[in-house]
């Protein structure tokens, strides 16, 4: 049905004579975000939008680019990351979430050890150094039975390695903190590395087949860390957002997300 709506946009343009394409600037991280944009670029062109895709690998430039008006929409982050950004900036710089798309499970990936059964006293584990993903990593390690976290810890908590001591760390594991994008390359130096889905995909790692342990889709993380697009609040109901949503919520995008080892958070109706 979404694909049909995208087609109807094209027919409407043709009937009204509005053939002039509008620019649609998007800043996105590579996989699967920029891949999705490239996949639907022809559909967006047919719907009257000329896509201008800027591909980046960091998590720093995307929100300021949209807030500053340099780019119309970004696609790289999950809900807690956007919430954290909005809490750190002025009201004029805040962004609105639109078009939720998928969940990228964080995984514990083999380094010098292959399975979690092999982990030993004093082994080292690499994990993201930003507060949101560090807490998420410790919760995943606790769920896997390697550590415990302080009582009451949830996805809104801030947990550091200084909090994981004594009885909470019975194997005396060492935690090596690094920028999230560097973690795949550190696997040869640690027993395991806790890697975000996006950065795993960049290293051609599939969470479902390559990780020793991942977050489940029905877990708290699976329900909370949904990836989405973000725009200025005044653009949340803009025509370009509606057109983009119609072209994203299609079988071809659904299949790409699954192929990358991620979990779509939208459904595709049988009739397209």
Q: What are phi and psi of 31, to 5 degrees?
A: -130, 130
pLDDT value at residue 69? 97
Task: Give the model's pLDDT for residue 217.
Answer: 84
239 token code pair: 């025509």
Tens digit of each residue's pLDDT, the chain (272 residues):
455 445 444 444 444 444 578 999 999 999 899 999 999 999 999 999 999 999 998 889 999 999 999 999 999 999 989 998 999 999 999 999 999 999 999 999 999 999 999 999 999 999 999 988 999 999 999 999 999 999 999 988 999 999 999 999 999 999 999 999 999 999 999 999 999 988 998 899 999 899 999 998 888 888 899 999 999 999 999 999 999 999 999 999 999 999 999 999 999 975 44
Question: Residue 206: is it exposed, middle or buried by C-beta count within 10 angstroms (0-12/13-18/19+)?
Answer: middle
| Residue 270: predicted pLDDT | 55
Residue 253 near residue 36 (C-beta atoms within 8 A): yes
Predicted local distance difference test score (pLDDT) of residue 19: 57
Query: What is the rounded distance in angstroms from the CA atom of residue 153 to the CA atom of residue 139?
Result: 8
Whether pTM > 0.85 for this model: the answer is no
38 and 83 in contact (C-beta within 8 Å)? no
User: How does pLDDT run across 186-207, given as a tens digit for each residue?
Assistant: 999 999 999 998 899 889 999 9
Res 74: pLDDT: 98
- What's the pLDDT tens digit per position in 229-264? 999 999 999 999 999 999 999 999 999 999 999 999
């Amino acid at each position: 049905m979404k694909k049909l709506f995208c087609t109807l946009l094209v027919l409407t343009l043709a009937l009204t004579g509005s053939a002039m394409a509008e620019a649609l600037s998007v800043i996105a991280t590579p996989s699967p975000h920029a891949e999705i944009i490239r996949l639907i670029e022809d559909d967006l062109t047919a719907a009257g939008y000329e896509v201008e895709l800027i591909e980046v690998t960091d998590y720093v430039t995307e929100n300021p680019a949209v807030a500053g008006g340099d780019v119309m929409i970004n696609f790289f982050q999950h809900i807690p990351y956007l919430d954290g950004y909005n809490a750190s900036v002025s009201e004029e710089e805040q962004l609105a979430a639109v078009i939720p798309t998928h969940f990228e499970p964080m995984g514990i990936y083999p380094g010098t050890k292959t399975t979690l059964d092999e982990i030993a006293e004093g082994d080292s584990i690499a994990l993201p150094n930003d507060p949101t993903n560090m807490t998420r990593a410790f919760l995943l390690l606790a769920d896997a039975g390697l550590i415990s976290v302080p009582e009451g810890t949830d996805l809104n908590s801030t947990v550091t390695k200084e909090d994981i001591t004594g009885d909470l760390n019975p194997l005396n594991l060492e935690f090596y903190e690094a920028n999230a994008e560097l973690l795949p390359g550190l696997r040869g130096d640690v027993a395991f590395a806790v890697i975000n889905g996006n950065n795993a995909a960049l290293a051609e790692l599939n969470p479902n087949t390559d990780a020793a342990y991942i977050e489940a889709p029905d877990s708290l993380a699976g329900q909370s860390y949904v990836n989405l697009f973000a725009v200025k609040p005044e653009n949340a109901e803009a025509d370009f957002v509606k057109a983009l949503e119609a072209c994203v919520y299609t079988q071809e995008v659904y299949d790409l997300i699954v192929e990358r080892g991620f979990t779509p958070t939208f459904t595709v109706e049988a009739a397209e």
